[in-house]
Amino acid sequence: MNGNHAGWLDRARRIASPNFGSRPSAERPSLVVLHSISLPPGVYGGDAIERLFTNRLDPRAHPYFEALEGLQVSAHFLVRRDGELLQFVSCLDRAWHAGRSSFQGRDNCNDYSIGIELEGLEGERFEPAQYEALAGLLLALREIYPIAAVVGHEHVAPGRKVDPGPGFAWGELLARLAWPGTMFPFLSSATDARDARDIP
């Protein structure tokens, strides 16, 4: 059962972010954009990500944070290294995660997507608990919203973004979802998810 009230999932710990807006014409999300983030990069387990998404990050707490001062960003969800799920923005609203982006000829992915951050670093591996939690989240979202595709930030903002990066094993995710390969348009052998276990 997937409790879902006004776009908030019961299964996620809720930390409301002020960084969101309305979706145009109350559009229902049809795309999922996967990201990776860690603050500072490569350091896991602290509260800096939730502080960033709620505009409470102290720019003096770490040299890397200075450049983030005044940045107003958010994602709908964060999957921590241990698989814990946090939600910052209602799926009915528009989170600020993808920036300048385009998918299948349509710009501004934030308008029609759900953004999911994985705690991690581009090029590094992710935890089995994260694939497990992400798969469960995607299954729950697809029961509620007309999700038609799952992509990486690197796919919708090429040349500008590289996350979640080569350390993210798409095959690990696909192996947990009996979804058609057409749901993953940027994977090379997109025929059927059951054949995708060995995609690097």
Decide whether 119 or 163 has the Cβ nearer to Zn ion. 163
Binding pattern to Zn ion, positions 85-114, x when CB under 5 A?
A: ------------------------------
If binding is defined by CB under 5 A, does position 76 make contact with Zn ion?
no
Applying CB under 5 A, among 32, 34, 35, 187 the residue interacting with Zn ion is: 35
Residue among 164 and 171 whose Cβ is closer to Zn ion: 164
Out of 163, 183, 187, 193, the residue judged to bind Zn ion by CB under 5 A: 163
CA distances from 89 to 23, 33, 77, 93 (A): 12, 14, 8, 7
Measured between alpha carbons, how far is 43 from 47 in angstroms, rounded to an integer?
11
Catalytic member of 27, 69, 117, 122? 117
Is residue 140 within 8 A of residue 96, CB to CB? The reply is: no
Would you say 35 or 80 has its CB closer to Zn ion?
Answer: 35
Kindly state the number of chain residues that form the binding site for Zn ion, as judged by CB under 5 A: 3
**Nearest distance, CB of residue 159 and Zn ion, angstroms:** 13
Q: DSSP code of 63?
A: G
The DSSP bridge pattern shows strands 20-22 and 13-14 to be unpaired
DSSP structure string for 4-49: EETTEETTSEE---S-EEEPGGGPPP-EEEEEEE-SSTT--SSSHH
Strand partners, 78: 86, 117
Q: Is 172 a catalytic residue?
A: no
Establish if 122 lies at the interface with Zn ion (CB under 5 A). no
Q: Does 153 bind Zn ion (CB under 5 A)?
A: yes
Stretch that binds Zn ion, among 41-49, 136-144, 146-154, 168-176 (CB under 5 A): 146-154
Q: Tokens 């992915």 — which residue?
A: 109
Catalytic residues: 117
Instruction: Give the residues lining the site for Zn ion (CB under 5 A).
Output: 35, 153, 163
